[in-house]
Amino acid sequence: MTAGVRSKPVGENLLTGQFLIAMPALEDPNFAQTVTFLCQHSTEGALGVIISRPLEMRLNEILETMGIPLEDESAGDIPVYWGGPVQPERGFVIHSPVGHWQGTLAVGDDIGLTTSRDILEAIACGRGPEKLLLALGYAGWGEGQLEEEILQNAWLNGPASAEIMFDLPPALRWRAAAALMGVDLDLLSSQAGHG
C-alpha cells in the first residue's frame, strides 16, 4: 500500500449518495411520502436529509436570527426544508459543487453537505454554491436500523438525481425519485424495497 493512501473499510459508504424513497405503506408522519438524500451510510448507521418537505420559512429568517447581513436580496427568498426529526434547530446545506467550506462532507464528486456558518455567509453575499438545498434537522439511523427498515419494505433505495433534488418542485420529488428507477408508486403494494 502506498504511503498516505487509505483503503476503504468494508461496509463504508454503503448507500451514501442515494435517494431513500418512502414506500406508500410507510405511515410514520415524519417520513410518509418523502425522499431523503443519504449523505452518509456505513455499518455504524446513516444520516440523511429529507428533500421533499419545504417549510413556510425562507433563508432571510435564518440569516436574521444568526445576525448575518443579507447582501444578495434574491438569496433571502431561498426556501428552507424540514430535513428530519433529529436536531431540527441545526441547519444543513446540500450543495453542488462541493466547494471549500469549513464543515463540509463530500457526499460524491459533485455534492457536499455543509453545516458551517461560512456557507450561509457566502450565500447571503451571492457567492454561494450554484445549486443548494437548505434544511433544518436531519434523519438518522443507528447501526443496522436502516438496513432492517429496508428489509421490512419501508424504503426503496436507488440512485440520486441532482435535477430532482435541486430543480424539481418539492411536491413532485417523491414520485420522480421512484420513476427514476422505473417504479410507479401507485402500483406498489408489498414488493421488495431494493433498487
Q: What is the pLDDT along the chain (195 residues), one digit of tens a residue?
A: 333 333 334 456 689 999 999 999 998 999 999 999 999 999 999 999 999 999 999 999 999 999 999 999 999 999 999 999 999 999 999 999 999 999 999 998 899 999 999 999 999 999 999 999 999 999 999 999 999 999 999 999 999 999 999 999 999 999 999 999 899 988 875 444 444
Which residue type is seen at 193?
G
- How far apart CA 162 and CA 138 sit, in angstroms, is 19
Q: pTM score, two decimals?
A: 0.88
Domain ranges in the chain? Answer: 18-91+135-181
- How far apart CA 24 and CA 12 sit, in angstroms, is 29
Domain 18-91+135-181 = CATH 3.40.1740.10: yes
* Residue 146, phi-psi category: left (phi > 0), alpha (psi -120 to 50), beta (remainder): alpha
